[in-house]
Structure 1
Amino acid sequence: MSKLSNLKVSNSDVDTLSRIRMKEGVYRDLPIESYHQSPGYSKTSLCQIDKAPIYLKTKVPQKSTKSLNIGTAFHEAMEGVFKDKYVVHPDPGVNKTTKSWKDFVKRYPKHMPLKRSEYDQVLAMYDAARSYRPFQKYHLSRGFYESSFYWHDAVTNSLIKCRPDYITPDGMSVIDFKTTVDPSPKGFQYQAYKYHYYVSAALTLEGIEAVTGIRPKEYLFLAVSNSAPYLTALYRASEKEIALGDHFIRRSLLTLKTCLESGKWPGLQEEILELGLPFSGLKELREEQEVEDEFMELVG
């Protein structure tokens, strides 16, 4: 994985990334803000294309939520930069609408302010993750955090990018840090499918292989509950998940190619469709029908 350090970006470069043609490769020192501003289609882009291509032509600012902020802080705790970037208000019961809080924010313009309860929450999640026995073998002190990968898709020639949370020193394992309400197998499986984590897995494995010539052996999700008792679990993306992600990527990129060639960025379908039931609804319907059939046999 020597190629993980083959490219570096200086501070003087990051402001112009959105205006230049990114070279294929790995950018280890690229700030997250510059990654988002830089050219290239990411997992988020592919999901937007799948939903409706017009999203790529519509700038919708991401709303800041407490859950999102805590998730970001947890990622930075895992990376080891949390205490450098965040400050905690001295009053444990402070309200964020008060003058005291607003003055505190102004006093630390280069830091992210947190309430004491939020600060303690992030550290508790961090401690739970680092003490989780199956996770301890992955040598987090010696791997690669937040490396940005850029490559061109072989079919559409589109510039693609990804930014894995962590890659082990040998390059064989990728770990995606996830905060969640429910880290249990059933709960996290639902979350992973809903938010297209399988696309992240497939795209990241493809990107690392495209840039370095080496394909990691596994893609893992470290799921940590965002509330006490901060349950933690480690899941491996299955071959079926990655295969589904590969199909999703190919379909989205072909749609992108069509849009770029035609100059048309459609929204949703312009026809009336039958709504139908989701998979869980179909399963429930089958179960209800089975119960009804058994009842009719008993009374029939």
Structure 2
Amino acid sequence: MRARRLALALTAVAALTLGACSGGDDGAGSGGSDGATAGGGSGEKIRIGIKFDQPGLGYQDGSEYTGFDVDVATYVAGKLGYEPDQIEWVQAPSAQRETMLQNGQVDMIFATYSITDKRKEVVAFAGPYFVAGQDLLVAADDDSISGPEDLEGKNLCSVTGSTSAQRIKDEYAAGTNLLEQPGYGECVTALVAGTVDAVTTDDIILAGLASLPANEGKVKVVGNPFSEEKYGVGLPKDNDVCADVNSAIEAMIEDGSWQKALDDNVGASGYEPNDSLNPPTVEACA
């Protein structure tokens, strides 16, 4: 009888010891992947949502994932205890991001995800890790366009379903002629061909497109943003990792890794972010 009790006690002690080494309660949010926790752990994975089709930000090429969002996510995951091979990259289309967090399909999202009050009703945000603004992409030798007001009577391209081009027509230049394309790649092709005079969306997205080898030296970002978009890290509403993510973003900014990631991914375009907003000031978790 005493031997049986001793065996049970030893089993309980072993279980407690293993629990103490597994990262405790520093979880990566509710509905995480295979028990993903801040602090990582042997064999654990963290699922991170990114865009797969935004060069310079989140881009998939076979089994390789590149871009500023990818680099920031990798750095943050590292601070949470995850090695790069423990990251599972998941495509996060804009319209599905809230649902993916609510359903536990991902632990966090880095996907040009603007922080808004409406979104904060259903998900949480860490960050911001970048502040973007709507801007214009024009031909490299075009000095006639310095802002949206200069598009009167000119041709402007944006993607189907986007409100950014219509905003210019409604608020800045009513005589702008709008051309919609399925993707921004097609818009840039039209710009290089001279079919349109400008392309519009967030400045860093434009910079990523301009940094592609095929576009280098042919196009440029005007550099006069006329909106403010705070890119945050999307998290489940009920999470206990927001403060750790914020600390990681601050560390990335302080040690120079943030600037290096920006330069590596969009520097070839000549783009320089608004230095009054970037690097951003990380906000307190709400």
- With structure 1 as the length reference, what TM-score do the two structures score? 0.25
Query: Of Structure 1 and Structure 2, which has the larger fraction of its residues in strand?
Result: 2
Query: Of Structure 1 and Structure 2, which has the larger fraction of its residues in helix?
Result: 1
Which of 1 and 2 has higher RCO (CA within 8 Å, sep 6+)? Answer: 2
